[in-house]
Amino acid sequence: MTHQISAEHLSIERIGEILSRNIKLELSADARKRIIRCREYLDKKIEESKQPIYGVTTGFGSLCKISIDKQQLSDLQKNLVMSHACGVGERVPCEIVKIMLLLKVQSLSYGYSACQVETVQRLIDFFNHDIYPIVYTQGSLGASGDLVPLAHLCLPLIGMGEVEYQGKIISGEEMLRVMNWQPIQLVSKEGLALLNGTQNMNAYAVWAMLQSARLSDWADKIGAMSLEAYDGRIEPFTHAVHAIRPHAGQMQTAARIRELLEGSELIKQPKVNVQDPYSFRCIPQVHGACKDTIAYVHSVIDIEVNAATDNPTVCPDEDLVISAGNFHGEPIAQPMDFLAIALCELSNISERRIYKLVSGTRDLPSFLVAKPGVNSGFMIPQYTAASLVSQSKMYCTPASADSIPSSQGQEDHVSMGANAATKLYQVVLNTEKVLAIELFNAAQALQFRRPLKSSPAIEAIFEAYRKEVPFIENDEFMAPHIARSIEFLRK
């Protein structure tokens, strides 16, 4: 099965499907035609124009006043890719690199970048053969796009840099030899088209959106199980309460919890406690606000996926080559910071429910073991969750609030979107871990409510979970159980 790269709208959900089903890419005939037309237009423009064209017949950044001889235009592009590959730090995960490749191909396919068809096809070949260029997490200001990480992404096109292929790291030169490919000979403007753009930070954003939908769903399911285990009340989820404050996410969450607990014996039991703590009672308001944030960020990232973000923009229909700022990461940097806050809040309220479950109240044993004292039980998983939440709160300081001028002041306001992206990645992973720990606790606590049963929906989750993670009678090595809980959420 293949996916045709075209001008048709590419959704975030479709990207998830392409990745999960290992669907191959191919250029549509229309995309190929647009790419060729733009390339031919720029070649003609260079021949006819007496005016310098930024990045095409001039240097880059603050070197834009220096004109380049036509004989050196190819060297200019190759030098650009080499000189900008200055990444440091950890490797960008392969799953993010694969999204980067897809997004770069999609952006170049619109025919506003003046790339060669051969160059775009080689990026498709990387994607289809699971060739992952080695890219580093640090170095991008998210302003002229992701110059540094995209330079590393594209070095293997010219036989440089490194890639991971079939589980091994090899040089770009060796990769070309193994695949029996020739290095791409970059032409005018092409290096700039490859390096300008938001595909690094946007790849993180796409990945985070795919995870956010899953984690938001799990937060409701796990929160409902915790509510049952804590002998909580259903009244705060009544439709009439939320109809008079009708935020979309709040209404959706309340309805979801009512649905999840339909048919529960536990929720129908007479309650001694008049009120529940906020972490239970305010699930619709908190989870709902997170849903609203996820929906907003989704709308922004959806636009970015379907955009051309390099510079200059080549518009054959208008006979224009314009140096502008579509590479600037601000439109997605701020939303990524916002998404980090929302996901952190999902983990924040989750950790509070964990704390209540182990607190020895509402007829639950201290730390959720029958014989506390000789057993520490679930005392320390809450510590782990608290540590993760604290770290995520640190990552919620907005990267997009900062700017440091670069390129001798020519690039005097930058988005820091790549930093927003990498810290968002960590917040997603932390939130997943905290929710997994809550599920670990909630399932343990629910078992102390037997013989009463929860709803069919919650009991189905419980039974599936118990096939992976057992009830804890006495102290055990807990880390493997937490690891299996995380994997359970991923399945």
Candidates 54, 132, 425, 465; catalytic one: 54
The mean pLDDT of 79-89, rounded to a whole number, is 94
Least confident of 3-7, 16-20, 47-51, 369-373: 47-51
Three-state DSSP state, 71: helix
Say if CB 418 and CB 337 are below 8 A apart: no
pLDDT band of residue 407 (cuts 50, 70, 90) is: confident
| 250 pLDDT above the threshold of 70 | yes
Per-residue pLDDT reduced to its tens digit, 309-349: 998 899 999 988 888 999 999 999 999 999 999 999 999 99
| 64 pLDDT above the threshold of 60 | no
Cα 172 from Cα 163, distance rounded (Å): 6
Q: Specify the pLDDT at position 67.
A: 63
**Which carries the bigger pLDDT value, residue 213 or residue 76?**
213
pLDDT band of residue 46 (cuts 50, 70, 90) is: confident
Q: Is 54 a catalytic residue?
A: yes
The mean pLDDT of 233-242, rounded to a whole number, is 98
Mean pLDDT estimate for the chain: 94
| 5 pLDDT above the threshold of 90 | yes
| 62 pLDDT above the threshold of 60 | no
pLDDT band of residue 426 (cuts 50, 70, 90) is: very high
| 42 pLDDT above the threshold of 70 | yes
Per-residue pLDDT reduced to its tens digit, 467-481: 999 999 999 999 999
Say if CB 193 and CB 108 are below 8 A apart: yes
| 65 pLDDT above the threshold of 80 | no
Residues 6 or more apart whose CB falls under 8 angstroms from that of 141 comprise 147, 404, 406, 411, 414, 415, 416, 418
Q: How far is CA 282 from CA 260, 268, 285, in A?
A: 16, 19, 5
Cα 357 from Cα 66, distance rounded (Å): 67
Q: Specify the pLDDT at position 70.
A: 62
Q: Specify the pLDDT at position 372.
A: 83
Q: Specify the pLDDT at position 54.
A: 64
The mean pLDDT of 70-96, rounded to a whole number, is 89
Q: Domains of the chain (ranges plus CATH)?
A: 2-197 (1.10.275.10), 204-490 (1.20.200.10)
Backbone dihedral region for residue 383 (phi beyond 0: left; psi -120 to 50: alpha; all else: beta): alpha
Q: Specify the pLDDT at position 156.
A: 98
Q: Specify the pLDDT at position 189.
A: 87
Q: Specify the pLDDT at position 114.
A: 92
Distance of CA 327 to the CA centre of its chain: 19
pLDDT band of residue 75 (cuts 50, 70, 90) is: confident
